[in-house]
Structure 1
Amino acid sequence: MADSLRDRVTKFFQKNIANQVMRRMPFQTLLETTGRTSGQPRVTPLGGKRIGDEFWFVSEFGDRSQYVRNIMADPAVRVRINGRWHRGTAHLLPDDDAHARMRTLPQFNNLGVRAFGTNLLTVRVDLLD
């Protein structure tokens, strides 16, 4: 399915402006995946919540998100939480109620997902360290 104009504008803004700024913030939560074509690390700022040895978040574009596509190819990821990197394994949970899940996550982080999300997908990362 083709992306809407709103999706394309949102992705452009996130990739070229917001993500560039957010990556530099020392305590911004970051997700590092391995590029499915390049094999290079790809870092994406995001919001979510650590619950025990799991980190939960909701992707606003689901399987149209580049980092979700990277997870589909290789679920080994790293997550930076409060300035510290953790290795983990990501699991895509299409049967999880993403709207209900967002009610359990920090509300500020969900603003963009709520405003621009068109294909919500819950992701759980099982943290290894």
Structure 2
Amino acid sequence: MPRNDDRKFQAVTAFQRRILNPVMRRIPFQTALETTGRTSGLPRRTPVGGRRVGDSFWLVSEHGERSQYIRNIRANSRVRVRIGGRWHGGTAHVLPDDDAVARLRTLPRSNSAVVRLVGTDLLTVRVDLED
């Protein structure tokens, strides 16, 4: 029998993949993370919430290692982040030792609340920006 976390993960990812992400990707000022597909080699854009702090962009993945963009980062850490409508290149670092719940307290409240609500395995990511 599937665990509650498995059911939650399946329901949330289905909603995000089919409804939420296609709409959010089209909003020009929505923050987005662009990774390279580990199998296809094609750019993959995911709407994210997070915050720029100096030359870094911080975010928390709600499904940790199960997130496709985390798997893509593990295969190729070169990414781009759209912040305020402008793309920035950078290198992503998955930080399993960071306290993701504490990190969410430093990020935008509305997104952090949703991540805590729907998340099944929180994982911090830092992107070191180049420009």
TM-score by length of 1: 0.97
The equivalent of 1:113 in structure 2 is 115
The equivalent of 2:75 in structure 1 is 73
**Quick one: distance in 2 between partners of 1:54 and 1:118?**
25
Number of residue pairs aligned between Structure 1 and Structure 2: 129
The equivalent of 1:19 in structure 2 is 21
CA distances 1:39-75 after superposition (whole Å, capped 9, x unpaired): 0000000100000000000000000000000000000
Give unpaired runs (5+ residues) of structure 2: none
* Matches for 1:1-129 after TM superposition, within 5 Å: 4-129=6-131
Secondary structure at the counterpart of residue 25 of structure 1: coil
Deviation at 1:112, TM superposition (A): 2.0
Supply the AA of the counterpart residue of 2:113. L
**Quick one: distance in 2 between partners of 1:14 and 1:83?**
21
**Quick one: distance in 2 between partners of 1:90 and 1:15?**
22
CA distances 1:2-53 after superposition (whole Å, capped 9, x unpaired): 8611110100000110001100111100000000000000000010000000
**Quick one: distance in 2 between partners of 1:34 and 1:125?**
15
Alignment RMSD (CA, Å): 1.3
**Quick one: distance in 2 between partners of 1:70 and 1:112?**
23
Supply the AA of the counterpart residue of 1:90. A
Deviation above 2 Å: which 4+ runs of structure 1?
none
Secondary structure at the counterpart of residue 19 of structure 2: helix
Secondary structure at the counterpart of residue 72 of structure 1: helix
